[in-house]
Structure 1
């Protein structure tokens, strides 16, 4: 029995030695990733996304929705963003699994039983108990743990990319809803003006000052602008629903939006924006991506090194009443499979990654140039509308409206001036919305607020 206890002690030491051999020190290179745990691991939005039962962090929507509430609501409750939050946690769990040692194996055998002659019965039985442990000579566990760590960082980059996509989508949807709200309000003002003009002309018709045809034309115009008002209301309702969908609501709980559309006094040069392309998560993630692929190659090379299994145990010889220790080692012979296929595949993925990284930079650069062109065009249009078109249309409408009361102009001239003014205002709101949507897209592409970049 003493031999059995000694054998168990030796086996325990062998298992411990196997663990130490697998835990040899490896100097891991510092990550070039700019997105670490401090950015997404402790994110309130991420914590909320992986713990939906926690109701401490909620955003209550009032009748008038503010931009900040819309952003907060989407970050906390966007279903797609929540799925990326769970993906981060899943990768963290995989890293935990990769850090575990392989389990020891316990084996028990009984020989020389149930036979014939001297081996009949149990008198000549031999009992063997073995405990085996695989030794990871290639430090597979540490390399697998390092690879899992990079996979976790990449999941963080995926979350950050989706977070910016959600923020950009909410921003653009809010801009579109605000545009639709302003167009609807303007259309209401146009209907009020058309009604006043119709009542004025009807009174003049009753007084015999103008032909009844003028009243008919005014009524037709009033019907048309009322139709446009209904269409504007429908567009606003669609924009509200689209905005509410970012936090999973089928029916928006708000009635209107707070805020106005505005533009900056000047624009930064394109060259200034291009310097920030490296902050785009689609580009910045490639530093971690390449480290992950290098780590994959290191792990595949380690798998090509045979991992021996050492074993030891206790054996009982029943026929002579003796006991003995049993030790052994098992080594796979790498005659055919040296993991050469997976090693080559890992190398090819590294070479592919270099091309993919360059393609990502090229795509972001193209998209940034396109968005900047739209930004410039809408900015120049706004400048011209503000400085020339709107003041001129407003002045002409007031002049013709005043002259109409004095009998200097007829109804058609008033109607033409009215249409010109409101068409110009409509275009101004559209240009403002296009400008702000372009700003949101550029900020997504450079990962930086446009207000932080010096203007020309």
Structure 2
């Protein structure tokens, strides 16, 4: 009968919104790849990575600059008593002082800033891959919730048809009144499930909208990701943005050790000036050199802290390298298992659909009890739900594998 048929995929967006498709087209999330491209300019997470890179660029440019000179003006022997009254015997000195960085401070600072910039760029690249993976999962979850909603709506339709059939048999004296009550209870349960799934679908769409940086909450997704044929990355050694980011962080931490060591060397400050003697209107040159005495502060604590930070960064790199191969192997196994499970779930769904069809025919003919029909309907809904969950698990496995290999999941999809 027509109520047994699975709703066409094009109607799923209408189901989730509860209104005509033409009314929600402008608010429907596009395909995953289109949404991913749009999110490049709207997603807050990607904007954060770009901003952090610009910060590092500015700091790298600043690190290469030299210290500014200091211009000084000093007036001595003025506004006193006797011969020093007013400015008649004043001595005015105009100087310019230039700090000279010693110990390779500027070179070490510039090198460390460039390493920090490389680390920021590596983190941004890792953020792009992580974001694509998270967006794929959010999109797939929203699409799965949309399909669950279609299943729940179909379940209500089937429960209504079953309750109607039970009531008809009761009215004709072929069933006891309790059967109609049981059928109505099943209908009430189906309606409650529909309300819960509706809330879940709305929450999934809200999370997708927030992640993509959409100004409005989507009311549906165009879909296609759950049923997309995954494009698996090629086997063998691949680029890992996680390892690249960890290595860049390690390099930056090691270069900061050189910065702290260079700071142990005191800097010179040389000055040159001209002094004017007001009493005879004569002038003379003034020269000076100053250097701090490193008696108390040799920057030992900062060197020790920088060394420890480099050791922490090295440990994180080792962890990333250790986890990389394990993550890739695990994700590959999950993708293979998800493909096998998906085929089994499809067969189970087909069998459950046929079982319900036969149970309905048998119940209408009076050959099967209502309990058999209700059980067949529950099995059908459960089989359809398992198929959705299996497709969702495959998307997650493919997204995890793509992240482990530094690729964008479902990159060949339109």
- TM-score interval, normalised by the smaller of the two chains: 0.7 to 0.9
Task: Show the counterpart of 2:54.
Answer: 89
2:342 matched residue in structure 1: 382
1:71 equivalenced with 2:36 (yes/no): yes
Residues 199, 348 of structure 1: alpha-carbon distance in 2 compared, 3 angstrom cutoff: closer
Q: What residue number does 1:111 align with? A: 76
Where do residues 59-208 of structure 1 align in structure 2 (5 Å cutoff)? 62-66=26-30, 67-208=32-173
How far residue 386 of structure 1 moved from its aligned partner, in angstroms, is 2.9
* 2:207 aligned partner: 242
1:434 aligns with 2:393: yes
Answer yes or no: is the 8 Å Cα contact 2:206–2:218 preserved in 1.
no
Q: Structure 2 vs 1, CA of residues 310 and 266 (structure 1 numbering), >3 Å: closer, same or farther?
A: closer
Encode CA deviations 1:186-222: one digit per residue, 9 max, x unaligned: 1222222222233233333333444444333322222
Distance in 2, matches of 1:381 and 1:79, equals: 36
Aligned counterparts of 1:265 and 1:316: Cα–Cα separation in 2: 83
Over 3 Å counting, the alpha-carbon distance change for 1:172 and 1:310 in structure 2 is same
Out of 277, 299, 316, the position equivalent to 1:317 is 277
Q: Is the 8 A contact 2:42 2:214 kept in 1?
A: no
Deviation at 1:284, TM superposition (A): 1.0
SS at match of 2:40: helix
Tell me how far apart the structure 2 counterparts of residues 430 and 374 of structure 1 sit (CA, whole Å). Answer: 14
Residues 1:290 and 2:250 are matched in the alignment: yes
Q: Which residue of 1 aligns with 2:357?
A: 398
2:233/2:405 contact within 8 Å kept: no
Alignment match, 2:404: 445
**Does the 8 A contact of 1:104 with 1:131 survive in 2?**
yes
Question: TM-score, with normalisation over the residues of structure 2?
Answer: 0.82
CA deviation string 1:43-100 (max 9, x = no partner): xxxxxxxxxxxxxxxxx98232222343244432233433333222222222232222
TM-score of the aligned structures, taking structure 1 as reference length: 0.75
Higher relative contact order (CA 8 A, sep 6+): 2
Which among 212, 219, 229 is matched to residue 254 of structure 1?
Answer: 219
Deviation at 1:104, TM superposition (A): 0.9
* Aligned partners of 2:27 and 2:216 also within 8 Å: no
Q: Per-residue CA shift, 1:395-440, capped at 9, x if unaligned? A: 3333333344444333332322222222111111111112212222
Contact 1:194 1:218 in 2 (8 A): yes
Give the 3-state SS of the residue equivalent to 1:390 in structure 2.
helix
Name the CA shift for 1:344/1:212 in 2 (closer, same or farther; >3 Å). closer
What is the CA RMSD across the aligned residues, in angstroms? Answer: 3.1
Distance 1:252 1:268 in 2: 33
The structure-2 alpha-carbon separation of the partners of 1:121 and 1:382, relative to structure 1 and needing over 3 Å to count, comes to closer
CA shift digits 1:135-164 (9 cap, x unpaired): 223342333222222222222233333333
Aligned positions of 1:18-29 closer than 5 A: none
Distance 1:451 1:216 in 2: 49
Tell me: CA distance 1:348–1:423, structure 2 relative to 1, closer, same or farther (3 Å): closer
1:450 Cα offset (Å):
6.1
Deviations 1:339-385 (A, max 9, x none): 34333333333233222211233344555555555545433322322
> Is 1:326 aligned with 2:286?
yes
Deviations along 1:236-258, one digit per CA (max 9) or x if unpaired, are: 11211222221456861434443
Q: How many residues align?
A: 388
Q: For the residues of structure 1 that align with 2:228 and 2:36, how far apart are their CA atoms?
A: 20
Matches of 1:110 and 1:187, distance apart in 2: 90
Query: Partners of 1:223 and 1:112 in 2: how far apart?
Result: 101
**Distance in 2 separating the partners of 1:180 and 1:211:** 38
Whether contact under 8 Å (2:133, 2:409) holds in the other structure is no
Looking at structure 2, the residues matched to 265 and 346 of structure 1 have their Cα atoms a distance apart, in angstroms, of 45
**CA 1:196–1:102: 2 relative to 1, 3 Å:** same
Q: CA, structure 1 residues 220+318, in 2 after alignment: closer, same or farther (shift >3 Å)? A: closer
Q: Is the 8 A contact 1:75 1:167 kept in 2?
A: no
Question: Contact 1:309 / 1:329 at 8 angstroms: preserved in 2?
Answer: yes
1:113 Cα shift?
2.8
